[in-house]
């Protein structure tokens, strides 16, 4: 992925395929750290799946053996010495929290997040998307 | 430029005013493949190109949606065009130029653009 807005698009598409009706994407930049939160009310994952979901050699989708989306995001986060956390509950949804160190040489650009949110909104009109960007460069 | 919630509402209202296939009245559906493989190879820009063609055409009966990985990652970016009553056609290795031709020929006139088509049929969405 060239930039974070593409990672976000990829993760939110996962939320949609998990049956989410509400998805929030929040970005907050503070003291040189970019915090990302993606939260949905999709079908969620149990602990067994959750432990494996960031492995590139696992997918929760039926008939698939590989799933790269979450593992690529986690890799992008850890390359900047940031942090990555995923919580999920069956029947309630999933929440991803990540932080990126913005001045790290491996930090990807944010990219066109406006285009990402616009495409999501237009292609999934039945889903409510909440998008917030707060902080220094908002 | 940062997109605000009210901007998203305006975009949605604008598109809902111009498309009504979602309520079952449409004659065509465009599905852009948005798996990780598709997104990494430019499917977001492909969807944008289709939407620009739609706006330019003024058509009001075309649905846009997305699907996941079709298992044909090396052919991304991909899209599937389905004209009501006909088999879906999968297009591969898409570019903005190909999108314009596919929209003009297949979506508008019903003529399959064979040079960009992989074949007829659709994968399971999910």
pLDDT of residue A119: 92
In a domain, B89, yes or no: yes
With beta carbons under 8 A apart, name residues in chain B contacting A127: none
Instruction: Return the pLDDT at B50.
Output: 95
Residue B116 within a domain: yes
What is the Cα–Cα distance from A72 to A78, expressed in whole angstroms?
Answer: 10
By residue count, chain B amounts to 126
Distance from CA of A41 to the nearest CA of B (A): 17
CATH number, domain with residue A71 = 3.30.565.10
Q: How far apart are CA A66 and CA A114, in angstroms?
A: 29
Q: How many domains does chain B have?
A: 1
| Rounded Cα–Cα distance for residues A78 and A76 (Å) | 6
The pLDDT assigned to A54 comes to 74
pLDDT for the residue A25:
97
User: In the prediction, which pLDDT does B89 show?
Assistant: 95
Q: What is the pLDDT of residue B69?
A: 84
pLDDT at residue B126 is higher than 50: no
The number of folded domains in chain A is 1
Which domain does B30 fall in, by range? 20-120
Mutation site, A118, A126, A132, interface B, largest B CB count within 10 A: A118
Among chain B residues, the shortest Cα distance to A135 is held by: B2
Distance from CA of B107 to the nearest CA of A (A): 17
Give residue-wise pLDDT tens across range B45-104: 999 999 999 989 988 889 888 998 888 889 999 999 999 988 899 999 999 999 999 999
Confidence of residue A103 (pLDDT cuts 50, 70, 90): very high
Contact B126 A61 (CB under 8 A): yes
* Phi, psi dihedral angles at A24 (to 5 degrees): -115, 140
Distance from CA of B113 to the nearest CA of A (A): 24
Query: Measured between CB atoms, which of B48, B69, B126 is closest to A119?
Result: B48
Q: What is the CATH number of the domain that holds B69?
A: 3.40.30.10
b (16+ CB within 10 A) / e for B75-94:
bbbbbbbbbeeeeebbbbeb
What value does the mean pLDDT take over residues A73-93?
93
Contact A131 B64 (CB under 8 A): no
pLDDT of residue A50: 83
Instruction: Tell whether B93 is covered by a domain.
Output: yes
Judge whether B28 lies within some domain: yes
What was the pLDDT predicted at B2?
Answer: 62
What pLDDT, on a 0 to 100 scale, did the predictor assign at position B21? Answer: 44
- Residue B44: inside a domain: yes
Q: Would you state the pLDDT for residue A37?
A: 97
B13 is a domain residue:
no
- For residues B96-113, give the mean pLDDT: 96
Q: What pTM, to 2 d.p., does this model score? A: 0.83
Mark yes or no for CB contact B51/A122 under 8 Å.
Answer: yes
Question: A–B: how many Cβ contacts below 8 A?
Answer: 77
The pLDDT tens digits for B2-61 are: 666 677 766 666 655 544 444 456 889 999 999 999 999 999 999 999 999 998 998 888
- Rounded to 5, what percent of chain B is helix, strand, coil? 45, 20, 35
* Number of neighbours of residue B126 by Cβ within 10 angstroms: 12
**Better-predicted residue by pLDDT, B26 or B111:** B111
Single out the residue of B29, B43, B78, B80 nearest to residue A116, CA to CA. Answer: B43
Residue B19 has what pLDDT? 47
Name the residue range of residue A12's domain. 4-135
In the three-class reduction of DSSP (H, G, I as helix; E, B as strand; rest coil), residue A132 is classed as strand
User: What percent of chain A stands above pLDDT 70?
Assistant: 89
Task: Confirm whether B12 is domain-assigned.
Answer: no
pLDDT of residue B6: 72
Which is more confidently placed, A74 or B6?
A74
**Is residue A118 scored above 80 in pLDDT?**
yes
Domain assignment present for B43:
yes
């Amino acid at each position: 992925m060239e930039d974070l807005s593409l990672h976000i698009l990829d993760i939110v598409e996962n939320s949609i395929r998990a049956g989410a009706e509400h998805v929030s994407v929040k970005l907050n930049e503070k003291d040189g750290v970019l915090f990302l939160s993606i939260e949905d009310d999709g079908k969620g994952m149990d602990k067994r799946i959750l432990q494996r979901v960031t492995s590139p050699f696992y997918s929760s989708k039926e008939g698939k053996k590989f799933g790269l989306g979450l593992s690529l995001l986690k890799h992008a986060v850890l390359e900047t010495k940031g942090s990555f956390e995923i919580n999920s509950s069956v029947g309630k949804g999933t929440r991803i929290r990540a932080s990126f160190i913005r001045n790290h040489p491996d930090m990807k650009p944010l990219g066109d997040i406006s285009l990402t949110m616009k495409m999501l909104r237009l292609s999934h009109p039945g889903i409510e998307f909440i998008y917030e960007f707060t902080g220094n460069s908002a | 430029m940062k997109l605000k919630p009210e901007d998203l509402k305006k975009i949605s209202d604008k598109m809902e005013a111009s498309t009504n296939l979602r309520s079952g009245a449409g004659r065509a559906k465009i599905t852009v493949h948005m798996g990780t493989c598709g997104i990494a190879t430019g499917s977001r820009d492909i969807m944008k190109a289709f939407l620009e063609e739609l706006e330019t055409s003024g058509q009001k009966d075309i649905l846009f949606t997305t699907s996941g990985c079709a298992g044909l990652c090396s052919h991304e970016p991909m899209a599937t065009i389905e004209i009501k009553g006909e088999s879906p056609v999968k297009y591969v290795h898409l570019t903005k130029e190909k999108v314009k031709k596919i929209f003009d020929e297949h979506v508008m006139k019903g003529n399959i653009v064979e040079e960009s088509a992989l074949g007829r049929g659709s994968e399971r969405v999910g």
